[in-house]
Chain A
Amino acid sequence: MTATLPPTTGPQPGGTQPEAPLAAPRPALAHDWRRIARMGSIAAFGQVFIALSNMPVRLDERLIVKPVLSLGYLVLLILPFAAGYRQGHQIKREGVPTYAPGLNEVVGGLSCGALAGGGLSLLAVLLTHFDLREPLVNWSPILLDLLAFGNATWFAAVIWLVIGGGMGAAGGVLRLLGPRIRRAVVTMALAVAGAAVLESLVVDLAEGLGLETLTDRLYARRGGVNWSSALGLAVVSGLLAVVGRGRFRQARTRVTELEGAKRTQANVGLILLTAAVLIVLPLFAGKLTNELLANVGLFVLLALGLNVVVGLAGILDLGYVAFFAVGSYSAAVLTAATSPKIAPEMPWLAALIVVVIIAGLVGLFIGAPVIRMRGDYLAIVTLGFGEIIRLLFLSDWLSGWFGGSQGITNIPAAGIFGLTDVAGTDPRRVFYLVLAFCALAIYVSWRLEHSRLGRAWMAVREDETVAEAMGINTVNVKLLAFVVGAVLGSFSGAIFAAKVGSVFPTSFLILVSIVILVVVIFGGMGNIIGVIAGSAVLIGVLGGPKQPGLLVEFSEFKLLIYGALLIWMMLARPEGLIPSVRRTRELRQQEMAQDAWLRGEVDDDDGGNGPAGSPSAV
């Protein structure tokens, strides 16, 4: 504890620190070969796994750049490239020189990538000589054909070594480029990939706006970006990246550094702009796009609800789908004529009030026993409750109410004050309804987060015992989190019931809980914008448990990719996709304080002398 740095002992976020001069590049062959072998084998293993999961075969149908690159080949190319790039990474340590990148990085990347590609070479050889179709269903000639580009086995063995090496070397070369060019290259790749991924969305919107000629030029008829337009897109985005270098980031920090009224103004402006876009956009979008947006919105609602429970109050609820189910089923029972138990069918909005009350009660009912537990036990018990609720809806015992496995069908559209009827046949209206509830949920989450209750939640999350010692009634506070989460989830459920028109127990599997949790973790726990971004990326692009996303081809591998993303996220960016602004600002301040300390502007004898630096009277 003596002589610690006064501002922080945490890891230093790089960036504003003045760069130390680089040491001369290392010789080309001076490598830690064991590290290369390790990274290369991991990548090779990943390659083989991807190949055997049948991803390349299935994804081969989706073209990225026509006719050169399909999604199938892309997933096989990306790993050697990433391994090659990663290999050149140097950990910056004080007192240890950082070497300028050079031939060393390229050779390292090449070796890494070749090893990774070698995995596929080996696989191709094994494919020809053994038949393991029994345990590995995808062990097929089709895969071999794909790996060999229609040629003989030896060709596959050689070509993947070459391709892997080439991609790895390219990853190494990326290290050589200055940060400016590197950013441009990355932007180009992202622009082309983004254009390809968002194809159906862009085409749909362009049709609505009467800009078909543009998209006709951009996209080939059978899908994928035309190679010529891909080139054009790359050039334009690359130029933009070089010209607009850092502008975006500057603008953002300028906004985050605004204080008081100015900040509020900027925020209000941004919110209004976003709202305007979200209101206008669907008018020009077709059914598919609106459907997609509505699905994303439903998951935003769910994720915001779970975010209160997990992100703010720190209660790891693995059975959150229960509240989605309760919302759906109670809305269905109350509004559908096919459910016999409640005779006069209610209008949807009136039913919603009852739904909220029911969901809140169920939240209390489940929460009461659960919150007395901590950590792992709590998670396991919530998992159980999630299943119990689903099984109740499925049971014969209650089939008079919920229809058992037949579910409840013919749920009428949701009438809004007699103005419109919102049903799944018109996804645009569904989206507007979802949007309204999302706005409500965002506002509620935001207000709660900055309220006394929100602070109490965070205290409970950080240290329950101490929170109790501060006088926080931890039991009540945690119950409230459960109830708020339940109510937000039930909104989503009630809309879902009206949208789909029928509810079945199979819509509420554990998987839904897991997906919502992954969305929250992926976006950034406890962070509203992160949660929204998480839903947009995961649900919008990859798709939800039953809802297709933009990359329809991925739906089979959705869970695999969810898992991989989650692991990568936990390792590389545990704070989530979008760390909260608050956190960024804090980190920046720490840096500034540290710089000041380094320049000797802050006396540094504090660490050694105590709480009462110079105390005056109380």
Chain B
Amino acid sequence: MSPGHPDPAADSGDGETGAATPLLEMRSVNAHYGAVHALVDVDLAIYEGELVCLLGGNASGKSTTLKTLLGMLNPTSGEVVLDGEVVNDQPTSYRVARGVTMVPENRRLFKRLTVRENLDLGAYLRSDSDQIAVDMERIFELFPRVKERLTQKAGTLSGGEQQMVAIGRALMADPRVLLMDEPSMGLAPALVQQNFELIQQIHEAGLTVFMVEQNANMALSIADRGWVLQTGRVVLDDTAENLLAHPDLQASYLGTAEQ
């Protein structure tokens, strides 16, 4: 099924460095939940400056991939490599401190804490308070609405506002690569388009983005490259263009039928 794996480095489109070492990499990673084999020999590499996406239907292992990258789940075999260093044995805090940050599925704000507390928690591992203040201001520039809601409880915000805070919270960690778990999930249709535009915008500002999505057409329209995951295996690995044109995409991945 799988087409030949193209050399990822050659495709790292608008990457600023084009360096040979990927920023974040999985080398034939296997992961289990008890007996359930959630990831099977997954290989993927994300290069600095890229906007890449991982597609797949429900329960195909997308969230598991992100958890493994972030160290919230330990692979049973294979390696997770951050900036050339094997980080299998490093805890999540180590990886977050080195620039890997996740926007979780469904945003999952700390609902009973205020917006400000949510943002502060994003910067939990940082101690450079001056720079934190600068980053906070940048987030207010990006989302003026967030600034108005600072002392409000996050759980009382509308869906769109929660998305802003979730992204803002992740940006407060000053990440190098942003892992986004189904950012368009649960958003009103009118918000989905805007949401992808926003991701593109954040990416253009210099952030590497690894996005997990079910909404394949939308995701591929802004991504450089992508992988398709099926029951824990990478079945397609190609440029966004090729993936969109790929005859197997629709078949291998039914989630796109919605549009």
B111–A462 contact, CB under 8 A?
Answer: yes
Q: Report which of A2, A466, A470 forms a contact with B173, defined as CB distance below 8 A.
A: A470
The answer to whether residues A4 and B198 also contact, given A455-B117, A458-B113, A469-B92 and a CB cut-off of 8 A, is: no
A4–B159 contact, CB under 8 A?
Answer: yes
The answer to whether residues A616 and B141 also contact, given A459-B113, A609-B194 and a CB cut-off of 8 A, is: yes
User: From residue A202, how far is it (CB to closest CB) to chain B in Å?
Assistant: 40
Give the distance in Å from the alpha carbon of A172 to the alpha carbon of B14 in the complex: 74
- Look across to chain A and name the residue whose beta carbon is closest to the beta carbon of B123: A470
User: From residue A413, how far is it (CB to closest CB) to chain B in Å?
Assistant: 45
Cβ of A611 within 8 Å of any chain B Cβ, yes or no, is yes
User: From residue B169, how far is it (CB to closest CB) to chain A in Å?
Assistant: 8
Cβ of B53 within 8 Å of any chain A Cβ, yes or no, is no
B190–A455 contact, CB under 8 A?
Answer: no
Secondary structure at the B interface, as helix, strand, loop or mixed, is: helix
Q: Report which of B72, B117, B197 forms a contact with A458, defined as CB distance below 8 A.
A: B117
- Which residues from 191 to 224 on chain B have a C-beta closer than 8 Å to any C-beta of chain A? 191, 194-195, 197-198, 201-202, 204-207
Interface-central residue, A469, A608, A615, by most chain B CB under 10 Å: A469
Q: Report which of B108, B188, B197, B198 forms a contact with A466, defined as CB distance below 8 A.
A: B108
Q: Report which of A471, A610, A617 forms a contact with B124, defined as CB distance below 8 A.
A: A471
Measured between beta carbons, the chain A residues less than 8 angstroms from B157 are 8
Q: When A and B form their complex, which 5 residue pairs have the shortest distance between CB atoms, in order from nearest?
A: A618-B205, A471-B96, A610-B194, A1-B188, A462-B110
Cβ of A191 within 8 Å of any chain B Cβ, yes or no, is no
Which residue numbers of A lie inside 8 Å of B, CB to CB? 1-2, 4-10, 452, 455-456, 458-459, 462-463, 465-473, 585-586, 589-590, 593, 606-618
**Chain A to chain B contacts (Cβ below 8 Å), 21 pairs:** A7-B152, A8-B156, A456-B121, A468-B92, A469-B102, A470-B96, A470-B122, A470-B125, A470-B173, A471-B92, A471-B124, A472-B93, A589-B152, A590-B152, A593-B152, A606-B158, A611-B161, A612-B143, A613-B143, A617-B141, A618-B201
Number of A-B residue pairs, CB cutoff 8 Å, is: 149
Interface-central residue, B91, B110, B187, B198, by most chain A CB under 10 Å: B110
Q: Report which of B142, B191, B205 forms a contact with A609, defined as CB distance below 8 A.
A: B191
Given A469-B104, A590-B152, A610-B160, output 10 extra A-B contacts at Cβ < 8 Å.
Answer: A4-B159, A6-B158, A455-B120, A471-B93, A471-B95, A471-B124, A586-B152, A606-B161, A607-B160, A612-B201
Interface-central residue, B145, B158, B188, by most chain A CB under 10 Å: B158
Give the distance in Å from the alpha carbon of A590 to the alpha carbon of B114 in the complex: 12
Interface-central residue, A456, A471, A608, by most chain B CB under 10 Å: A471
Cβ of B84 within 8 Å of any chain A Cβ, yes or no, is no
Q: How does the 8 Å CB contact mask read for B227-248 relative to A, with 1 for contact and 0 for none?
A: 0000000000000000000000
Measured between beta carbons, the chain A residues less than 8 angstroms from B197 are 612
Give the distance in Å from the alpha carbon of A166 to the alpha carbon of B112 in the complex: 44
Give the distance in Å from the alpha carbon of A458 to the alpha carbon of B153 in the complex: 13
Measured between beta carbons, the chain A residues less than 8 angstroms from B70 are 469
User: From residue A499, how far is it (CB to closest CB) to chain B in Å?
Assistant: 38
B198–A612 contact, CB under 8 A?
Answer: yes
The answer to whether residues A610 and B190 also contact, given A469-B104, A586-B151 and a CB cut-off of 8 A, is: yes
